[in-house]
Chains A and B, each alone.
Chain A
């Protein structure tokens, strides 16, 4: 094992897949330097033909990925900020998500849409969202949200090898987070949750940065409440079996999501817990998510985004 950071892990995954398969290329705005480091330095080894800097043109970046994927390439389109992907909605939600389905399976779309998501950097409403719910609401797109360097690397490699469009959201507050990864090559299947901490009193489901908040709260409550933290790692496909199994053991659940609470994945997971484990529940499932407002810039951000204190309060409420 060796230690690398979250963003190095993504960078390594891209480099390994670029090396492994000449059909892989990366396309996006300013990716040769790389705004967050995910693609930094790749141009030195792979050249500008495979690490392609584009003008500020999100629709054509997405279109290049979708079009090239149809012909057999495996593009990774980088949008820098998740917020910027809205610009390419037609290409992502209609072309990428639906063209295999509506053409009777004749079209193959092996591509990755990647972007940095998330708040806590106090950089305002249009650079801080975690807009997973839109993609989850659109059948045909897979959604990956890694929380550790190990997961970030293994999931990116799988996403690139997947024959379907995968939306890969990495959290911008985790870039420098260190973690252990194996020396040898590995991949992580989509749709397989990881139990980040075992516990017996309450199940907390979280992704991305929220996993770290949940783990911090769990450590704080040690000795008082035994918290199990589950990271689904991919939200589509979603490993509900692992979540339900845990809830059957603990009888209590809190679902944490950094996206807006209304119509978010926290509500979806909570409902599925009710559907599949209602008789095992000792208390109603609690949701912790962003309040139903745009994310304010500056200090007010904390009033909207979920905080560790909110997770703690929710855990205490379900075990009370």
Chain B
């Protein structure tokens, strides 16, 4: 896994952007600028940046819902403008530059947990049929691993040797329920032998470890050797969703747990590693942080200055319901 200096800098930049974009939406919700739900992904950014960087452009990806997928979108080179505007309830007047979600193999996020498994199997089946060596990377949470859809999908994907990487973002909690009370083993990766596929458990705070594990599984899938399971151990810093209590069952989550994980913050760890190895100087890293702050200010302004969608023509609903 030889990443160039430029690629390493890109990953660091996106890691910082993912963190700051998450913080931007949290703050926007708190100040009444944003609307709707937000499921913060702070603490878990290395999963998306490590997992979704440097795939092939035509690979398919199901992002994990933490941070509403932002780390994954950034890793795929998708502008965050639309993402920010939508959280503010706004409509961009001009489409942002760069690829759309669809052009990078992202069709959307399901509102139900566990719905990604059957969908990703369908994409992987299409990849196998069209013989273009495309791969599907399907992220799911530890909570999703409790769904029966996992069994149906992992079983069939292995029987048919489909090119899919099952990637578990295990942050130890499914909303309020700790995994230890919802799953009979400790590692989700332990499911893999049942489906006759290899698995690996990686440190989700180490963006390069995540990247390496996913890339190895992707290479295997691309070579026609079938699915793999990668489990990424991580932790979410904030409550399941903004405005919700941060609990384990009905009691507050242990403070020591959060503090221990924060010591291994993925952004901090990667910065230290890059500076230590000489891939990035302290000054370059500072400049990236500063430029990202400026980007956040501009994104906030863009969203604030953009209009709310106005429905003057209800026939838009008809045009969305069915395709011609």
Contact = CB atoms under 8 A, between A and B. Distances in A.
B111 A94 contact: yes
B105 to A, nearest CB: 9
B323 A68 contact: no
A164 B118 contact: no
B129 A63 contact: no
B157 to A, nearest CB: 8
A57 B156 contact: yes
30 contacts: A55-B155, A55-B159, A57-B156, A59-B117, A59-B153, A60-B118, A62-B118, A63-B121, A63-B153, A64-B156, A66-B118, A67-B118, A67-B120, A67-B121, A68-B123, A71-B122, A71-B127, A73-B126, A88-B118, A90-B112, A90-B114, A91-B115, A100-B323, A101-B321, A103-B108, A105-B320, A106-B101, A107-B102, A107-B107, A110-B323
Contacts of A312: none
A269 interface: no
3 A-B pairs with the lowest CB-CB distances in the bound complex, closest first: A67-B122, A63-B118, A57-B152
Nearest to A54: B156
B169 to A, nearest CB: 20
B102 A106 contact: yes
Say whether chain B's binding surface is mostly helix, strand, loop, or mixed.
helix
Interface of B: 60, 100-102, 107-108, 110-112, 114-115, 117-127, 129-130, 148-149, 152-153, 155-156, 159, 319-324
Which has the most chain A C-beta neighbours within 10 Å: B117, B121, B324? B121
Contact of B122 (A68, A102, A142): A68
Contact of B117 (A63, A72, A103, A163): A63
Given A57-B152, A68-B126, A140-B321, A102 B108 contact: yes
Contacts of B152: 55, 57-60
Which has the most chain A C-beta neighbours within 10 Å: B100, B101, B148, B153? B153
Nearest to B62: A67
A100 B320 CA distance: 7
A61 to B, nearest CB: 8
Contacts of B319: 105
Interface in A103-125: 103-110
Interface in A84-104: 88, 90-91, 94-95, 99-104
A227 B268 CA distance: 80
Contact of B115 (A94, A102, A109): A94
A64 B115 contact: no
A67 B122 CA distance: 4
Interface string A22-57: 000100000000000000000000000100001101
Contacts of B114: 90
A318 interface: no
B107 A99 contact: yes
Which has the most chain B C-beta neighbours within 10 Å: A57, A63, A140? A63
Nearest to A88: B118
Contact of B323 (A57, A88, A163): A163
Contacts of B324: 163
Given A55-B155, A59-B148, A68-B129, 11 more contacts: A59-B153, A62-B118, A63-B153, A67-B124, A68-B122, A68-B125, A71-B60, A71-B130, A94-B112, A105-B320, A164-B323
Which has the most chain B C-beta neighbours within 10 Å: A69, A70, A109, A163? A70
A105 B121 contact: no
Contact of B123 (A57, A67, A110): A67
Contacts of B108: 99, 102-103, 107
